[in-house]
Amino acid sequence: MRVLEIDSPAPAESRPLRLRQREMPRPGRGQLLVRVEACGICHTDLHLAEGDLPLRARPRIPGHQVVGQVLALGEGVQGWQEGERVGVPWLHRACGACDFCRRGEENLCPGAVFTGWHVDGGFAEAMLAEAAFALRLPGGRSAQECAPLLCAGIIGYRSLRKADLAPGECLALVGFGASAHLALQVATGWGCPVVVFTRSEAHRRHARSLGAVWAGGIEDAPPQSIDRAILFAPSGALVPAVLAHLRPGGTLAVNAIHMSDIPAMAFALIYGERTLRSVANATYQDGVEYMSLASRQHFQVSTRAYDFESANAALADIKAARLDGAAVLLP
């Protein structure tokens, strides 16, 4: 089967993904063998390709927003059948026994294993997934539409919850890529006005087309007070700038697995019982809830398709913020 591997991290412009052949894997106990129909390309994949996140093994097949079909079942698998449609998210498995797992916080499990980082992912024609962590997908959507839901959608949903967003509150989204364009639509469905801070005029137009009440630069004053905010851009320098827009008692959730350092800032920016918190991965239940939400609420999923030969170009496009929405690899 054909796969895309990272041997040596390097800038996206130097084409770090290598197209190669591998043997088809065989499912072990509790695993599914999945034929990949589509795999979203995430900013995390860019971090792996460029070395911001250390590779756990070399070579590694990235990709963790996988839509596919079950080809074979490993020993002991229950609840899945060959031929069924399946979604494979970032969380590959967790230990199930630690304090975090017992609290339903397996996203924080010290033994958690992540798809496309600790184990090979979906930049391939087939892959292995843990049956217990695979997700049922909403009906009526193509594989290309469903793929971004499996990370961009799920982590955006968790970010909304970690930002403490309540119906009717004003939400600010900082950076407007794959995750933000889906989170915006969830928030507007909850009756929340959304403002967007982004440097890109194309992204501002996209945000307004999806229901944002305002879009501008971080240096601009939005038309109303901001109750909650989510930072999607991996720039620590933006944290004090966002806090300056946030009302007392508001919350800023930082959605980034890797980010530049937050600079020293005045205590006044956090004073007034403002909350600053990170968003770390997502739980299996987050995925179940978000897939259910995606079945009930229609989201416009903006995507651009890439074939294997164009995967490095996709990473470069993500790095340069040239996309409206999500990049999706179609093997």
pLDDT of residue 173: 98
Q: Does the pLDDT at position 213 exceed 90?
A: yes
pTM: 0.96
The residues spanned by each domain of the chain are: 2-150+301-329, 154-279
Q: Does the pLDDT at position 218 exceed 90?
A: yes
154-279 adopts what CATH topology?
Rossmann fold (3.40.50)
pLDDT of residue 298: 86
Decide which of 3.30.930.10, 3.40.50.11540, 1.10.260.40, 3.90.180.10 is the CATH code for 2-150+301-329.
3.90.180.10
Rounded to the nearest integer, the mean pLDDT of the chain is 97
pLDDT of residue 49: 97
Q: Give the residue from 248, 301, 295 showing the smallest Cα distance to 275.
A: 248
pLDDT of residue 162: 98
Strand partners, 46: none
For the residues 133-145, what does the mean pLDDT come to?
96
For the residues 114-143, what does the mean pLDDT come to?
97
For the residues 200-206, what does the mean pLDDT come to?
97
Sign of CA dihedral 202, 205, 209, 215: positive
At residue 162's C-alpha, the angle toward residues 237 and 96, to 5°, is: 115
pLDDT of residue 112: 98
pLDDT of residue 19: 98
Strand partners, 275: 251
In the chain, helix, strand, coil percent, each to 5? 30, 25, 45
Cα separation, 183 vs 192, in Å, equals 11
Per-residue HEC secondary structure of 43-78 comes to: HHHHHHHHCCCCCCCCCECCCCCEEEEEEEECCCCC
pLDDT of residue 330: 97
Considering the chain, what percentage of its residues have pLDDT values greater than 90? 99
For the residues 266-286, what does the mean pLDDT come to?
97
For the residues 148-158, what does the mean pLDDT come to?
98
pLDDT digits (tens, 9 = 90+) for 22-44: 999 999 999 999 999 999 999 99
Read off the pLDDT band of 316 (50, 70, 90): very high
Q: Does the pLDDT at position 20 exceed 90?
A: yes
Q: Does the pLDDT at position 248 exceed 90?
A: yes
Please answer whether residues 32 and 86 qualify as being in contact, where contact means their C-beta atoms are separated by less than 8 angstroms: yes
For the residues 256-273, what does the mean pLDDT come to?
96
For the residues 201-220, what does the mean pLDDT come to?
97
pLDDT digits (tens, 9 = 90+) for 167-194: 999 999 999 999 999 999 999 999 999 9
pLDDT digits (tens, 9 = 90+) for 77-120: 999 999 999 999 999 999 999 999 999 999 999 999 999 999 99
Q: Does the pLDDT at position 274 exceed 90?
A: yes
Considering the chain, what percentage of its residues have pLDDT values greater than 70? 100
For the residues 224-238, what does the mean pLDDT come to?
97
